[in-house]
Structure 1
Amino acid sequence: MKLNSQIKNIGSYMTMLAKQVVLLLAILSLSISNATAQSTTSGPSIMDLSLLNKQKKTLDAGDQVLKSAYQQLIKSANKSLSFGPVSVMEKKEIPPSGSKHDYMSLAPYHWPDPSKKDGLPYMRKDGETNPEVKLYKDKEYLPSLCEQLLVLSLAHHFSGKDIYAQHAMKLIRVWFLDTATRMNPNMNFAQAIKGVNQGRGAGLIDGRNLIKAIEAISLLSANKAVTKEDQAAMQQWFADFLNWMQTSKIGQEELDAPNNHGAWYDALRLSIALYTNQLPHAKEIVVNAQKRLTSQMDPSGRFPLEMARTTSFHYSVFVVDAFLKIAAMSQKINLDFWGFKASNGNSLPKAVDALLPYLNKQKAWDGPQIKPFDDQEAIPFLSIAATKFKHPNAANWLVANTSVHPDKMFTYLLTLNDF
């Protein structure tokens, strides 16, 4: 299917895309706003509440494509009702602090040294995941929890059924709020390297999933499904977490990271700053992210530090995804990160254009990639490129791949999804 070089509006694009969609089971994630910048921080910061409301009206009016998408959303949400609750207290390992309330995980690309009797210190094998990390359940539970929260919050929004909001709030209270089970607002012991450290700045990348949790509770709150007490408690938890991020030694390490870690650090703290109504600080974070984009990208639109990785295709998409989320959130405070162009010419459109020929398979990837690139990783990237940048090649890819990854495409119809 050949699309026009310019997609005139979201509605016509979604109509064309809808004709190609085969709707099956799905896993939800974050949706990207394509609305005019808003001056209020109420509601989600990445998802566009006005668009969600518009889609709900269209669905309620009997739109058949959205009806099919909605049915798959509810099917997924019904499965989410059997998830958890989970907590940091379930892990067998005890963090160095002596408290299971502290989050704990291992560095994924570090392995026992076979030349040492005790295997210590662990040695790095970039891109090769040590299965030992699966023994540390916090790393498994947190992303799953955040994903389920987003599914449930969207199901509640579109169905109006309290059962989804009630289960979401149960999950939230157990992980974040209840005294007996809550996670302490830090990641002091994230991605530890045995024989080297008890935790490190790079471990904060685990926290990027919290962006989804913030989006979910913000949507629930907008739909009046969160009590004032729970909202205040969650905002305090995240305010404390942000304070830890910005004052701890580990947090400072990640602040200084010159690669995707630094970009995701800014994405997470921007999400928290908006959720906790720290608007002047949110603007400072966006400005800092602009500096990162200026320094991390080369003149060709590539990111050299990501290109040096053994899975460079993945990390090249990964870092741009972080910047795209920052750009979406920047609209909330009337800043245009989409249109930002650095003095050296670096910009988000340039980063998108640099990757599109490889994502569209017009060119073979020319960097290290020790394992196959998962096409699903391209969906969030290209869905944003299609809706925000109106890039025809991105739109063509989405249309062509709806039958390949229907489990990721249906929520795009519901929410203009950044999966």
Structure 2
Amino acid sequence: MKNFLLVASLLFAACTATKGNSVPPQSPAVFILNADVLSQKKAAINVKDAALMPAYKKLLKDADKALNEGPFSVMEKKNNPPSGDRHDYMSLAPYFWPDPIKNDGLPYIRKDGQTNPEVKDYKDKEYMPKMCELVHTLGLAYYFSGDEKYAAHAAKLLEVWFLNADTKMNPNLNFAQAIKGVNNGRGAGLIDARHFMNVVDAIGLLQGSKAWTKADQTGMQKWFADFLNWMQTSSTGKDEMNAKNNHGTYYDALRLSLALFINDKEAAKSIVQNVTKRLDAQMDEEGKFPKEMERTIALHYNVFDLHAFFMVASMAGKNGFDLWHYTSPSGASLKKGFDYFHPYISKQKEWTGQQIKPFDFEEGYPLLLTAAERYGCNKCRDEIKTLAGLDAEKMRENLLY
């Protein structure tokens, strides 16, 4: 009886706590985020669960700040892309610098792990991830609070970047991560678009808002369908599809997100199968990624790659494939990868590989939290509390896992 009353009170609170605002659906159409967990957290927030209030209040504070940012557009850049069409996205390769022995510095030369500050002159690279992050924050704030102001601003950001004829980005990355003196863009530039995965989930969080219309939904599905087609048919996109490192993993993670968003189940199934082949080829017998071990910030790139595989696993489950417990013909598995890097991302062991910059341990939080859910890592949550210290109770991850 007590359990029944508790459930009833949660359901009642979920229906009444946002009176005066539109009420988002309890189970949002998300693909990387866990819809069931979000529904449970929303119900708990509605009854003011003390354990979640610090993280919830921090989310709303971030969302209130986001209300004053943007909108952003590719039309704001000062640099014209080679096409002459300012609607085309453009950026510079971050690790390429002027050659000091050449008068004009051309062609640029590679300094792995060292970001050329010149990339900041190309505002598309700055504005696109910022827009995606803000939309994600606003989408979460709307879903948990039901406050229309968050959905309205998220919709405005999306409209300006993707949908408005005067301000929208063309659905291609032909001129992403160019190397001066070498090319006008390259396949590796598709990594810039990984942030679109946040947009896809954010759109799912906006369902039910009066600010998000059927025309908006249709427009975004059309834009992402066009972008997915460009990814899979252009020479630039095909080049990235053949990447043997984290670039290839993020390529598949992004196109899986888009395939699910446009409800192309057959494409999604094919992409997941391709990811199993990537895992088999990329991971060694210990669970690390040799291509990422070659990098000057090797721990970062290994964790970065494993995170992409984790995101694919979250999405693959929507299509009925359990990548969490899959083992490839060579013995590669996500569990093996996590087990190898676990002591390094939790500070149990000191990383001895290359890492010319300090590792940001927050990068490992999603892996630790996911392992707590998927692999029964009972100490993972406590390890995050130790790493995060006083900020642990305010972490957004408390609302997502």
Shift in CA distance, 245/343, structure 1 to aligned 2, threshold 3 Å: same
Residue 384 of structure 1 corresponds to which residue in structure 2? 370
Deviations 1:163-206 (A, max 9, x none): 11000000000000000000000000000000000000000000
Q: How far apart are residue 394 of structure 1 and its match?
A: 2.4
- Paired with 1:171 and 1:296, the residues of 2 have a C-alpha distance of 37
Number of aligned residues = 375
Question: Per-residue deviation at 1:67?
Answer: 2.1
* 1:239 counterpart letter in structure 2: A
Distance 1:222 1:340, change over 3 A: farther
- Deviation of 1:361 after TM superposition, in Å, equals 2.2
CA distance in 2, matches of 1:236, 1:228: 12
Distance 1:57 1:79 in 2: 25
Q: Which residue identity does 1:410 align to in structure 2?
A: M
2:264 to 262, 269, 278: 278
How do 1:46-61 and structure 2 match up within 5 A?
46-61=32-47
Q: Which residue of 1 aligns with 2:13?
A: none
Which residue is equivalent to 1:318? 304
Task: Answer yes or no: is the 8 Å Cα contact 2:152–2:212 preserved in 1.
Answer: no
Q: Deviations over 1:242-286 (max 9, x none)?
A: 000000011011100000000000000000000001111101000
Kindly indicate whether the alpha-carbon contact (under 8 Å) linking 1:102 and 1:183 is maintained by their aligned counterparts in 2: yes
Partner of 1:238: 224
Q: Following the alignment from structure 1 to structure 2, what is the Cα–Cα distance between the partners of residues 378 and 48?
A: 18
Q: Give runs of aligned pairs for residues 335-354 of structure 1, distance below 5 A.
A: 335-354=321-340
Task: Output the CA distance in 1 between the equivalents of 2:211 and 2:388.
Answer: 33
- Preserved contact between residue 249 and residue 305 of structure 2 (Cα < 8 Å): yes
Is 1:356–1:393's contact at 8 Å kept on the other side of the alignment?
no
Q: Which runs of 4+ in 1 moved over 3 A?
A: 222-225, 404-407
Given that residues 214 and 272 in structure 1 are in contact (C-alpha distance below 8 angstroms), is that contact kept between their aligned partners in structure 2?
Answer: yes
**Relative to structure 1, is the Cα distance of residues 386 and 173 closer, same or farther in structure 2, using a 3 angstrom cutoff?**
same
Aligned to 1:129: 115
Q: CA deviation at 1:389?
A: 1.6
Percent pairwise identity: 52
* CA distance in structure 1 between the aligned counterparts of 2:127 and 2:159, rounded to whole angstroms: 15
Q: Look up the equivalent residue of 1:412 and give its one-letter code.
A: E
Higher RCO (C-alpha under 8 Å, 6+ residues apart) = 1
In structure 2, the partner of 1:78 is 64
- What are structure 2's unaligned runs of at least 5 residues? 1-26
Which of 184, 194, 212 is the aligned partner of 1:198? 184
- What TM-score results when the alignment is normalised by the length of structure 1? 0.87
**TM-score of the pair, normalised by structure 2:** 0.91
User: Deviation per CA, 1:117-172, whole angstroms, max 9, x where unpaired?
Assistant: 10000000000000000110011011111110011011111111111100000000
Q: Give CA deviations for 1:207-231 in whole Å, capped at 9, x if unaligned.
A: 0001001110121126565211110
Counterpart of 1:261? 247
Match of residue 413 from structure 1: 398
The alpha carbon displacement at 1:68 in A equals 2.3
Q: Does residue 219 of structure 2 align to residue 214 of structure 1?
A: no
Describe the superposition over 1:313-347 as per-residue Cα deviations: whole angstroms up to 9, x where unpaired: 10000000000000000111111111111111110
Q: Which residue of 1 aligns with 2:236?
A: 250
Please name the residue that 1:34 is paired with: none
Contact conserved, 1:360 with 1:393, CA < 8 A, in 2? no
Cα distance in 1 for partners of 2:348, 2:141 equals 37
Corresponding residue to 1:119 among 83, 96, 105? 105
